[in-house]
Amino acid sequence: MKKEFTDLQIQELEKAIKDKKNNAHYRKLHALLLRSQGMSLTAIGKEVGLVHQSVRNLITRYQKGGLTALFKENRGGRRRAYMTIEEEERFLNQQLERALKGEHVTVQSLLKPIKLKLESQPLVRDSMLY
């Protein structure tokens, strides 16, 4: 097996693991250090509670981008939206104005204008609006 980590990288990982209080970050660093000691991916996975492929992904991410790539969160966010943030804000402000005037605003009354707006968009079914 070729050496996956340089001595400098190992020192960086050892220093970083001492500073980490976050459990998820600690596990990632621990997995990398175990790999630098020659442990198999499966054994590391069992030790730190990850699947062997996740360990492999951590190694790749670390090798490509260092510690910053390792701790960068790629999850979350607004992936799908039927309206832009501005359109949504405008729509909600209109509904708020109706409510402040004393109109009875219900979920059904909110869905009706949304459905009208979205009818022109492909692949939007009623079951997708909840």
Q: What value does the mean pLDDT of the chain take?
A: 83
CA gap 35, 53 in Å, rounded: 13
Q: Is residue 11 part of a domain?
A: yes
Q: Is residue 76 part of a domain?
A: no
Q: Is residue 29 part of a domain?
A: yes
Asked whether residue 66 falls in the same domain as residue 90, the answer is no
Contact present, 6 and 23 (Cβ < 8 Å): no
pLDDT of residue 111: 84
Contact present, 67 and 16 (Cβ < 8 Å): yes
Asked whether residue 29 falls in the same domain as residue 66, the answer is yes
Predicted model pTM: 0.56
Domain that holds residue 99: 85-120
Give residue-wise pLDDT tens across range 22-41: 888 899 999 999 999 999 99
Asked whether residue 60 falls in the same domain as residue 21, the answer is yes
Give residue-wise pLDDT tens across range 68-110: 888 887 766 666 677 788 988 998 898 889 889 998 888 888 8
CA gap 123, 76 in Å, rounded: 23
Asked whether residue 62 falls in the same domain as residue 27, the answer is yes
Rounded to 5 degrees, φ, ψ at 23 are -60, -40
CA gap 63, 46 in Å, rounded: 22
